Amino acid sequence: MATVGASVPTLDTVREKVEAGDRLDFEDGLALLESDDLLALGELADLARRLRGGTDDVYFVQNLYLNQTNVCRVKCKFCAFARTAKQEGAYTISIAELVEDAARQHELTGFTEIHMVNGESPHVTFEWYVETVRALHAALPDVHLKLYTASEIHHMSTLSGLGYEEILRELRDAGLGSLPGGGAEIFADRVRRLVAPGKEHPDRWFEVHDIAHRLGLPTHCTMLYGHVETYEERVDHLLRLRDQQDRTGGFLAFVPLAFHPENTVFERRGWAFTSGAEDLKMMAVSRLLLDNIPNLKAYWIMMGLPLASVALHFGANDVQGTVVREEIFRAAGSTIGSEQKIDELVRHVKDAGRVPVQRDTLYRELRRWE
C-alpha cells in the first residue's frame, strides 16, 4: 500500500516503469483500473506485451468442452450451471458414454484438447475420476486432457482422504495433461464469504496449482470479476497469481472472466453484465501486472469475437479456441454461441491485423496463416 506522502501513480509514471522494464506494484494496478483513458490503457498494454517479447502471433486451439456432471455440493451464488441430484436438469454421464461421445466428436473435428470441468458431486468416488481420465486417454492418446479445477481436486481429496499430491500423481499417471484455472473466482476472503461460502479457502487453490507445477503439470489461472469485488481486490488477486508464477512458473495463460449474472441470485438483485469497456480495461491491466505469464486469453465465448478481436490490441494474444459445446457461460445467459469454426477465428484475427497460429495446449505451433 502507499506510504504517507508518496506520490500517486499516473499513466505517465506507469509508462515510465513499463518502458524501463520495472515491475508494477499494487498502487500502479489501482491507478490503471481507476483510469478512464481506455485507449491509453490499451496502447500501454500492447506496448508492454511487445517489450516483453510479444509478436503479432495470436493463438487458438481446437478443443472440445465436456461436462460429465452438473451435480454439485457447493451452492456458489454466481453459478447457473450446478444442480442438486434431485433438481430438474441434473445429470451424470457414464464413463462409457462420455468416451464414446468424445471419440465421435474427434472423428468430426480432430480436436487436440479436451477441456472438462464438473460440479462437485458427492455421489461419485475418486476412482470414478481416475477411470474417466484413463478411459479418455486410452481412446484418444494424442489428445491433451485439460481436466478438473483446483476445487475439484480438493473435492477428490474430501471424497478419498488422499492428499493433493497423491491425487495429482494418480491422475497424471492415468493421462491427465494439465489443469484449467477455474475455481479461483476472487481470492479475497471477504468476497469468498459472500459469493461462495461453501467453497474451500483460496489458499487451497494455490496449494493445488503449486503441487501440480512441481509435478510437471502445467496449469491455467483465472479471475471472475464484475460482481461484489473492489478494484483493490482485483489487483490483489492478480499480484497473488504473479507471486505464484515467480515461485513455480507453471501457469501457461491467464483468463480474465467477466461475471454473467443471468440465472443467478445476482440477476434478481439487479446486477448487469460488464460493459465492453470494462472487459477491455481488465484485459489491459492484466497484461500490465502479469509480467511473468506469457499468454493472455480473450475468451470469445464470454465477450464475443468482435470484442475479442479488439482485445488483441489491449494485451491479449490468444482467443482460446473452437470451444465446441461450452455449457458454463451458456447456463449463465451467454447467447454468443458455443462453437466457432477455424476459418472464422482466422478471419477475425487477420482482420485485427495479427497472425493466426493454431497451437496445441502447450503453445506448440501446429499451423499458421501468414
115-141 pLDDT per residue, tens: 999 988 999 999 999 999 999 999 999
Q: What is the pLDDT of residues 58-114, one digit of tens each?
A: 999 999 999 999 888 776 655 665 666 677 878 999 999 999 999 999 998 899 999
- Share of residues in the chain with pLDDT > 90 (%): 73
Q: How many CB atoms lie within 10 A of CB 194?
A: 15
Extents of the domains making up the chain: 56-368
Q: Where are any strands of DSSP class E within the chain? A: 57-61, 63-66, 113-116, 144-147, 219-225, 251-258, 295-296, 318-321, 355-359, 365-368
User: Would you say residue 156 has pLDDT above 90?
Assistant: yes
What's the confidence (pLDDT) of residue 322?
82
User: Would you say residue 334 has pLDDT above 80?
Assistant: no
Residue 336 pLDDT class (50, 70, 90 cuts): very low
Q: What is the average per-residue pLDDT within 150-171?
A: 97
CA distances from 107 to 104, 111, 127, 139 (A): 5, 9, 28, 12
Mean pLDDT of the chain: 89
Which CATH number among 1.10.3720.10, 3.20.20.70, 3.30.70.260, 3.20.20.80 corresponds to the domain 56-368? 3.20.20.70
3-class secondary structure, 353? coil
Q: Is the pTM of this model over 0.85?
A: yes
302 close to 312: Cβ distance less than 8 angstroms: no
Residue 45 pLDDT class (50, 70, 90 cuts): very high
Q: What is the average per-residue pLDDT within 250-261?
A: 89
Q: What is the rounded CA–CA span in Å between residue 73 and residue 71?
A: 7
Q: What is the pLDDT of residues 184-215, one digit of tens each?
A: 999 999 998 888 887 889 999 999 999 999 99
Q: What is the rounded CA–CA span in Å between residue 182 and residue 185?
A: 7
291 close to 52: Cβ distance less than 8 angstroms: yes
What's the confidence (pLDDT) of residue 87?
77
